[in-house]
Structure 1
Amino acid sequence: MVETLIEAEVDFDLPGKQTGYLRIPHSVHRSAYGWIPVPIVVIRNGEGPTLLCISGNHGDEYEGQIALTKLARDLSADQIRGRVIVLTMANYPAASHGLRTSPVDNGNLNRTFPGNMRGTPTDMIAHYIEEILMPMADYAVDLHSGGTSLFYPPTLLRGMGHSPEETQKLLSLQAAFDLPYAWVFTGGGGPNSTARTAMGAANRKGVVSVMAELGGGGTVTRDILHRTERGLRRILHSFAMLPDYQPDPAQGTRELNAKGSIFAYDEGLFEPFKDIGDAIEVDEIAGEIHHPETPWREPDPVISPYKGMILCKRTLGQVQRGDALFQVADDVQSF
């Protein structure tokens, strides 16, 4: 058994539905023997796979948190076959404050894996997910959005697979989630992954894993939330974990490779000329950065170094040098 300082209020092997907290020890001035509560739900019934579902990895990403809250509340043990483990607010300090990173230690959970059992609270959470929860799982789904600063259409993210069996399982997850887009990674992954993300943790532990980008801009979009809820149940059904669910017909997924991001090289107010789904060419002007503090100054053009389609777009008008304004992707190429 891997050592951890985190105490779980649930028994992962017990049949039925359990709710409680992962207690992250946190000694501070106001609470010498205190702990940070990370909500957890475990639902188990009979034989079957284990699916680990995560949201709130970044705290300002909301569709996943709502969808998993509803799933955890609505699912009963007698409906499933196997085990579902749900973390609705994986980085609880960040999620409870609506922030990308933790206000306790400034930790970005999805840049912290494999973590450290004796580190900061974010370190400890990452370590627990990678060393305790991932080894229990057969599959993992990590739900994100563009957060406060970016907006994505509903997009699944996956690797290519490091064996024919893993590739087929990833394709099954993609087909089951049935989002309009799939961003397919062309490198990395596998048991030797050095990625500091939840997907990297899954790869290192041999767990078949996907992410999803689901809206953003600090808002909740009704259609994207519906697609997320539908996709989670379709995933459970596809692995015979929700046998009585009747999925509707698939709508189809467009597979993409990311080309790169278009960044701001000036400070000011950003006027986009492109929307998500629009085509863009190399050297095309994607927008302008205006300077109200010197209104006689000409705006600075934002030039695309890529050809493809706009996959995500900045939602905030104020920009600084280095901010990502767009992400460009194109249809999957043969390698």
Structure 2
Amino acid sequence: MSKPVSRISSEIDFNLEGKQVGFLRLPHSVHRSAYGWIPIPVACIKNGEGPTVLLMAGNHGDEYEGQIGHGVLLRTLEASDVKGRIIFLTSANFPAAMAGMRTSPIDEGNLNRSFPGDTNGGVTAQIAWYIEHVLLPQCDYVFDLHSGGSSLMYLPSALCRRNSDPNKMLQSLEILKLMGAPAAYVADSPQGDDRTLTAAAGRQGVVHFGSELGGGGTLTPSALRVAIDGIRRALKHLGILKASVSVAPAEPTQLLQVRGLDYFVYAPDSGLFEPLVELGETVEAGQAAGRIHFHDTPWREPSVAYFKREGIALCKRMMCRTERGDCLFHLGTPFEHSLSKDA
């Protein structure tokens, strides 16, 4: 049986020396354009031998810190700054990015729930397949920058997945600290499980780092600094940027972990969400997290959602209108090197 081949083609050659920019061409035949293609921006900076990193953003189209930050790095870095190769995919789910939506307006696809993808599938599945089977096998590292998008707001955080190898875990923690976000957390099992880029990187043997840099469909100067200066520090530490490249020192980072479903609080009813806790606040098990008000029957008492455990409010819902099952908060707890699932 022949090996699947992506229908997406690249205008640039990832093996050429120097700096290249162009598009990935995803064939898309529709009423207004019978022989058209979707132009997904891509770039590559290569200089000699060294590690390869994929800088990716726009996995969700309404998360802007990485899309802007990676663009700044692309414009300001030259081949003479690099020792190895940097591949830029700044608006990975391009249809979603152009619409400013979490998911693609073409097929409703959530790219970060679409891996390993399908070369014969819809638009989002084809993008996922190309990333996992064409781009990632060329890479040693991937930095996939996220935020809370339109519906969530995070305490700006860098993140990675827990590694059972203590030495590799320590190396990952060093990168998280270098990113210089106010918080950094280690996740045992990311939302989306084996359908995420994190899982795709694991299948391809690529070291994955990510972020949740704010959200609410907004952009802050402090979050953008992490997306630019934090990545510069990390790439310099990994030897992909030369020692001569200047970087600002990192701000202190609080190391946290996110382990199980008890870290999350979900809406018990539909209505208007009143948060009772601020981001960064320490909470106790059983503490009220928020109220859901019934504006259609205002004489009813609101429903109350509670935290199931102690922790630090790492993420909260930004939208007031809420439906049963929406995530209202999730917590982080101080990082522990123990690999016990009970920690």
TM-score of the alignment, normalized to the shorter chain, above 0.5 = yes
Shift of 1:76: 1.2
Matches within 5 A, 1:1-335: 3-164=5-166, 166-186=168-188, 195-243=194-242, 244-258=244-258, 259-333=262-336, 334-335=338-339
In structure 2, distance between residues paired with 1:72 and 1:249: 21
In structure 2, distance between residues paired with 1:161 and 1:29: 48
Q: 1:226 to 1:8 in 2, by over 3 A?
A: same
Shift of 1:329: 1.6
Q: State, as a whole percentage, how many aligned pairs show the same letter.
A: 47
Secondary structure, counterpart of 1:216 in structure 2: coil
Q: 1:165 to 1:136 in 2, by over 3 A?
A: farther
Q: Which runs of 5 or more residues in structure 1 are unaligned?
A: none
Q: 1:321 to 1:68 in 2, by over 3 A?
A: same
> What one-letter code is carried by the residue in structure 1 that aligns with 2:26?
I
In structure 1, distance between residues paired with 2:176 and 2:162: 11
In structure 2, distance between residues paired with 1:100 and 1:5: 24
Shift of 1:253: 2.3
> What one-letter code is carried by the residue in structure 1 that aligns with 2:291?
E
Q: Which runs of 5 or more residues in structure 2 are unaligned?
A: none
In structure 1, distance between residues paired with 2:269 and 2:238: 49
Judge conservation of contact 1:17–1:42 (CA < 8 Å) in 2. Answer: yes
Judge conservation of contact 2:117–2:128 (CA < 8 Å) in 1. Answer: yes
- Give TM-score scaled by structure 1 length: 0.94
Any idea what the Cα deviations from partners look like across 1:75-115, whole Å, max 9, x if unmatched?
11111111100011100000000010001111100000000
Shift of 1:176: 2.3
In structure 2, distance between residues paired with 1:57 and 1:73: 20
> What one-letter code is carried by the residue in structure 2 that aligns with 1:226?
R
> What one-letter code is carried by the residue in structure 2 that aligns with 1:129?
I
Q: 1:160 to 1:53 in 2, by over 3 A?
A: same
In structure 2, distance between residues paired with 1:88 and 1:107: 18
In structure 1, distance between residues paired with 2:8 and 2:128: 11
Shift of 1:162: 4.3
In structure 2, distance between residues paired with 1:118 and 1:81: 36
Any idea what the Cα deviations from partners look like across 1:17-40, whole Å, max 9, x if unmatched?
111100111111111111111100
Say which is worse superposed, 156-165 or 217-226, in terms of deviation.
156-165
> What one-letter code is carried by the residue in structure 2 that aligns with 1:248?
A
In structure 2, distance between residues paired with 1:197 and 1:295: 41
Say which is worse superposed, 323-332 or 294-303, in terms of deviation.
294-303
Judge conservation of contact 1:172–1:238 (CA < 8 Å) in 2. Answer: no
Judge conservation of contact 1:19–1:42 (CA < 8 Å) in 2. Answer: yes
In structure 1, distance between residues paired with 2:193 and 2:109: 18
Count how many residue pairs are aligned between Structure 1 and Structure 2. Answer: 331
Shift of 1:240: 2.1
